[in-house]
Amino acid sequence: MLEKLESLENRYLELEALLSDPAVIGQQSVWREHSRELASLSEIMEPYRRYKKVTSDLKDAAELLKESRDSEMVNFLKEEMGKLNKEKEALEKKLKELLIPKDPMDEKNVFIEIRAGTGGEEAALFAADLLKMYTQYAEQRGWKIEIVDAHPTDIGGFKEVIVGVAGKGAYSRLKYESGVHRVQRIPETESGGRIHTSAATVAVLPEVEEVEVEINPQDLRIDTFCSTGPGGQSVNTTQSAVRITHLPTGIVVSCQDEKSQLKNKEKAMRVLRSRLMDKYLAEQAAEMAETRRAQVGSGDRSERIRTYNFPQNRVTDHRISLTLHKLDQVLAGDLDEIIEQLIASARAEQLRATGTK
């Protein structure tokens, strides 16, 4: 670890010198690239330099302790060394976490795809609850959210809904939401008062730029049709809705939220690029990561990452065995406590996998 940190510090000093070099300043693209790299290294340099200072102070205190014959000074030095050792341990832990390779997608905007699974109308209503939960969470963090495509039901649920979320670090926090979400409650459609179990699937895809995924226009089949609402009735008489099929992969994306055919096509292409990137990344790392199909599952109630139990006001994340008795707050967008613990668990797993000492 220390060798890696020393190497990073040398690179940091090299970048500082380069950014002051007139030859580099004259090349704005190169200067910007070096600036970004310097900024990314700055996060780790402050704790590393503090770590070196604490280590040096500990060494000096140990030398003084060997030479000291004054009992008062000995007690003082032992107390100081105790404080320094605690700080050193905390800094070591932080530095190990900072050395974990960052997901290059973490700062991306995302698309959240929510689909009703097992449970019929109740599953569709739960999909609407999840949409509201993510919408409120995004609003709390100052992110922008937009409906990309939606297929509502007659009683206010969604068979499927896709939303775009734009904001700093959106993917870094929302990527843990992918999977099957299970709900246990008495449905609005149930007259007997029995608790039912239903499910909805959530897939979180990072939005990618056009240059990151190359799409051959000849590989696309683009169909237009009239927008439809609950029950399948026609919403308008113009063919503004767009369906794009990527022929090599069979991926189909539709969008009907906008009144403009051009805008619907632009939105559908954004989703298609993200789905293609997700597919390519999954194929490249098949031995290390699940594919999107495995990640999302079939929507069956037995394949779950989280359970929302209404009678007990309880939410349980099964991946980290976390249970909170504040379901009402979670559904109102209070997701940070769950997400923070998922991030901590992921970091711990990465540390174990990399064998960082």
Domain residue ranges in the chain: 2-99, 110-347
Q: Residues with Cβ < 8 Å from 141, sequence gap 6 or more?
A: 167, 173
Structure tokens at 71: 């009992």
pLDDT digits (tens, 9 = 90+) for 27-41: 888 898 899 889 888
Among residues 208, 222, 223, 174, which one has the least CA distance to residue 276?
208
Output the pLDDT for position 297: 47
What pLDDT shows up at residue 207?
A: 87
Residue with tokens 């990561």: 289
Which pLDDT belongs to residue 238? 64
Strands of the sheet with 306-309, listed across from one edge:
144-152, 158-166, 110-116, 196-206, 179-185, 306-309, 314-317, 322-324
Question: So what's the pLDDT on residue 282?
Answer: 72
| C-alpha distances out from residue 80 to 36, 70, 73, Å | 38, 15, 10
Check residue 32 and give its pLDDT.
87
CATH class (in words) of the domain with range 110-347? alpha beta
Report the C-alpha gap between 291 and 283 in whole angstroms. 7
At 317 the pLDDT is: 96
Tell me the Cα Rg of the chain.
26
Pairing verdict, β 306-309 and 179-185: parallel
Report pLDDT digits (tens) over 135-172.
Answer: 999 999 999 999 988 999 998 999 999 999 999 899 99
- The pLDDT value recorded for residue 239 is 75
Which residue's structure tokens are 């069956």? 300
pLDDT-flagged residues of the chain (< 70): 189-192, 210-211, 227-238, 284-303, 353-357
Query: Tokens at residue 47, please?
Result: 């704790």
Both tokens assigned to 24: 């580099």
φ, ψ of residue 221 to 5 degrees: the values are: -115, 120
Q: Which CATH number describes the domain made up of 2-99?
A: 1.20.58
| Domains 2-99 and 110-347 in one fold | no
What pLDDT, on a 0 to 100 scale, did the predictor assign at position 355? Answer: 60
pLDDT of residue 129: 97
Q: Answer whether 0.75 is exceeded by the pTM.
A: no
DSSP assignment, residue 141?
A: T
The pair of structure tokens assigned to 239 is: 């063919």
Residue 291 to residue 297: CA distance in whole angstroms: 10
Grouping H, G, I as helix, E, B as strand and the rest as coil, residue 325 is coil
Q: What is the pLDDT of residue 183?
A: 96
